[in-house]
Amino acid sequence: MTGETSKTSAKAARTGAAKRVAAKVAKPRKTAPKSQSRKAKPPLLAGGNPQIAKADGDGPVQAYIAAMPGWKRDVGRRLDALIVRTVSGVCKAVKWNSPLYGVEGQGWFLGLHTFTNYVKVAFFRGRSLRPVPPGQSKSKHTRYLDIHEDDQLDEAQLAAWVKQASRLPGARM
């Protein structure tokens, strides 16, 4: 007799659970799911670097900048605007989750990358710039400029480096 009661209780429990699941599934949605209601932001990789698909043009670079977290987004916008003002007809692309800037037929002269506490500007022929940018690299020719949240950006110096770098043979990537 005890076995029969257990079977009946178990069956009632399963039926009740099935009804609750069916009720949940059948409920109509009042709003569209988040993925449909607004454009999903790209995922952030280690250090907050946006994951943007490899592509040429301004669109992917703007998507990268828009996905940069917090204060870094403003730095990205300022750097992009400065580069566009300084180098007429600059070419842009995103490769390896980093925006690249170059001159048609000469290669890439500069790249950006987002880290946890700073934005790194890579001058691929930075050793040839005057004055030489402060950040050292394992690469023979590359030099870096790291921009932290509270840093005052010397736009005149940065524009001078960008102008010089754009006139040098660029890196092939």
pLDDT band at 167 (very low <50, low <70, confident <90, very high): very high
Do β-strands 143-148 and 118-123 pair in parallel, antiparallel, or remain unpaired?
antiparallel
Protein fold of 45-167 = Aspartate Aminotransferase, domain 1 (3.90.1150)
- With b for 16 or more beta-carbon neighbours within 10 A and e for fewer, the 79-117 pattern comes to bbeebeebbeebbbbbbebbbbbbbeeebbbbbbbbeee
Query: What's the pLDDT tens digit per position in 80-130?
Result: 999 999 999 999 999 999 999 999 999 999 999 999 999 999 999 999 999
In the chain, domain spans:
45-167
Distance CA 122, CA 111 (A): 5
Summary mean pLDDT of the chain: 85
The string of DSSP codes covering 115-128 is -SSEEEEEETTGGG
3-state secondary structure of 76: helix
* Residues shown for the chain: 173
Banded model confidence at residue 140, pLDDT cuts 50, 70, 90: very high
| 141 or 20: which leads in pLDDT | 141
